[in-house]
C-alpha cells in the first residue's frame, strides 16, 4: 500500500484552489475598497473636527491646506496640513493627514484655494466639501461637508439613500 498523492490528484486540487481564488479575489478587492472608504470618511471628519477644536483652543485662525496635484487624485499622492498661516508651506504645521493609505480612492474638493479656514471664536469652517469614491466605482460616492453658519461637519452620501451607513445628503 503506497502513501501519498498521485500527480492527477495534485493537479485537480490545484485547479480547484485556482478556481476558488478567481472567484474570491474580486470579492476581496470590493471589501478592501469599502474599508478604505469607511476609514477615509472617519479620518477626514476627525481631522476637520480636530482643526475646529484647535482653532478655538488656540484662539487663532487656522487653515487646512489640501495639497494635491490636479483637481482630483486617486494615487494617494495628496495630504491635508493644518497650519497657522493662510499660505501653504508657511507657518507651523500642527496636524498632517497623508493620502498614501488611501491609494485607489479618488479625492476632489470644492474649496477655493484648496484650503479650509476656521475662525478663532467658534471654530466655524469655511463651507465646501471633499468628495471621494473608489477609482472604479464613481457611484459609491461619499462627501465630507462643512457648513460655515452652523459649524457642522458631516459625512454623507449624495447618490444613494444609505451607503456605508452614511445617510443621503
Whether the per-residue pLDDT at 1 is higher than 60: the answer is no
Q: What pLDDT sits at residue 9?
A: 86
Q: Is 136 inside any structural domain? A: yes
Using one digit for the tens of pLDDT, what is the confidence trace for 87-120? 999 999 999 999 999 999 999 999 999 999 999 9
Domain that holds residue 89: 37-167
Q: Is 130 inside any structural domain? A: yes
Residue 70 to residues 10, 23, 66, 73, 129: CA-CA distances in angstroms? Answer: 51, 36, 11, 7, 16
CATH of the domain at 117: 3.55.40.10
Q: Residue 21: CA atoms inside 13 Å, Cβ hemisphere, count? A: 6
Calculate mean pLDDT across residues 68-84: 90
Q: Is 22 inside any structural domain? A: no
Q: Is 1 inside any structural domain? A: no
Q: Is 10 inside any structural domain? A: no
Whether the per-residue pLDDT at 28 is higher than 90: the answer is no
Q: Is 11 inside any structural domain? A: no
Q: Is 140 inside any structural domain? A: yes
Q: Is 29 inside any structural domain? A: no
Answer for the pair 95, 54: CB distance below 8 angstroms, yes or no. Answer: yes
- Which pTM does this prediction carry? 0.81
Number of domains in the chain: 1
Q: What pLDDT sits at residue 157?
A: 94
Calculate mean pLDDT across residues 141-150: 95
Amino acid at each position: 500500500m503506497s502513501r501519498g498523492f498521485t500527480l492527477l490528484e495534485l493537479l485537480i486540487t490545484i485547479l480547484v484552489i485556482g478556481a476558488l481564488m478567481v472567484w474570491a479575489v474580486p470579492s476581496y478587492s470590493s471589501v478592501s475598497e469599502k474599508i478604505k472608504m469607511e476609514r477615509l470618511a472617519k479620518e477626514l471628519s476627525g481631522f476637520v473636527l480636530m482643526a475646529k477644536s484647535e482653532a478655538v483652543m488656540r484662539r487663532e485662525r487656522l487653515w487646512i491646506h489640501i495639497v494635491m496635484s490636479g483637481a482630483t487624485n486617486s494615487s494617494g499622492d495628496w495630504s491635508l496640513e493644518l497650519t497657522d498661516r493662510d499660505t501653504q508651506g508657511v507657518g507651523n504645521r500642527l496636524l498632517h493627514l497623508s493620502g498614501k493609505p488611501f491609494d485607489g480612492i479618488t479625492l476632489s474638493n470644492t474649496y477655493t484655494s484648496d484650503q479650509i479656514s476656521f475662525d478663532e471664536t467658534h471654530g466655524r469652517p469655511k463651507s465646501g466639501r471633499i468628495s471621494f469614491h473608489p477609482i472604479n466605482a464613481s457611484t459609491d460616492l461619499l462627501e465630507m461637508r462643512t457648513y460655515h453658519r452652523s459649524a457642522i461637519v458631516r459625512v454623507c452620501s449624495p447618490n444613494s439613500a444609505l451607503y456605508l451607513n452614511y445617510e443621503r445628503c
